[in-house]
Amino acid sequence: MSPSERLAQVLTEGRFIAIRELGEESAAELHTHAKERYLALEESIPRFRSSMNRKLFELGPPALAIYQALHHDLGVDRGPALRMTEDMLLAFHRKQRSRSPLLGAAMDIVLRLKPARSLLLKSMLTREPGGFRFDRASDAGAPLDFDVRACPLVTFARRQGAPEVVPMVCRLDDLQAQEPRGIELQRAGALGMGAERCDFRYVTAKK
């Protein structure tokens, strides 16, 4: 799915949040301004060939467009604008999970079956210029472990003068990791939060 289609979904699923925080009239203005902001960003969005890169990147432009519309067009202060944008992303994420419960089951299979993990890692290590760059890790206690050394979301947001939007997209990883039972994500840092790498360690949850 394209970032523009994701933007439409986030605006739809997060509309009740916009109405609650801004009122009906301003919520309608947000919808219009966010689409205008997205159109202004569209030419600068990378055109990845890899489906994995496209999938991992797709929520970045919508988050940025909504944040810019709130902060610059509607005059919402930076902190509340970030919080509202993240709340709308979370509303979208929850709806997606409720509509597609098999996504959580698929992640569960990947984390538990070695052949599935090997296939996933192989696809991640196929690099594309300007795309996400993954490196293998060697944590014996983690069924699935890897590092992200380059993130186009961080590059894109910095070029647009809004690196502060990236952490909210990163936090969705934590929510997705809660779905498989008995597995948890341990991560000491993230590129979007100023670390030198994103260290993903999926480990067996402690009982």
Chain mean position to CA 205? 23
Residue 66's closest CA among 103, 21, 132, 98?
21
Q: Is the dihedral of CA 94, 56, 65, 165 positive or negative?
A: positive
pLDDT band of 83, cuts 50, 70, 90 = very high
pLDDT band of 101, cuts 50, 70, 90 = low
pLDDT band of 44, cuts 50, 70, 90 = very high
Q: Are residues 123 and 30 in the same domain?
A: no
Domain residue limits at 193: 102-204
Q: Are residues 109 and 157 in the same domain?
A: yes
Share of the chain above pLDDT 70, in %: 88
Q: Are residues 106 and 94 in the same domain?
A: no
Q: Are residues 90 and 27 in the same domain?
A: yes
Q: Are residues 44 and 116 in the same domain?
A: no
Mean pLDDT value of segment 168-182: 74
Mean pLDDT value of segment 13-17: 96
Tell me how far apart the alpha carbons of residues 9 and 96 are, in angstroms, rounded to a whole number.
10
Given a cut of 60, whether residue 104 has pLDDT beyond it is: no
Q: Are residues 112 and 67 in the same domain?
A: no
Mean pLDDT value of segment 158-182: 83
Q: Which among 36, 70, 99 is the end of a domain?
A: 99
Q: Are residues 25 and 69 in the same domain?
A: yes
Q: Are residues 92 and 39 in the same domain?
A: yes
* Count of domains forming the chain: 2
CA-based radius of gyration for the chain? 18
Q: Are residues 129 and 175 in the same domain?
A: yes
Q: Which among 80, 99, 118 is the end of a domain?
A: 99
3-state DSSP call for residue 122? helix
Q: Which among 77, 99, 121 is the end of a domain?
A: 99
Given a cut of 70, whether residue 42 has pLDDT beyond it is: yes
Q: Are residues 144 and 171 in the same domain?
A: yes
Given a cut of 80, whether residue 62 has pLDDT beyond it is: yes
Q: Are residues 107 and 183 in the same domain?
A: yes
Given a cut of 90, whether residue 187 has pLDDT beyond it is: no
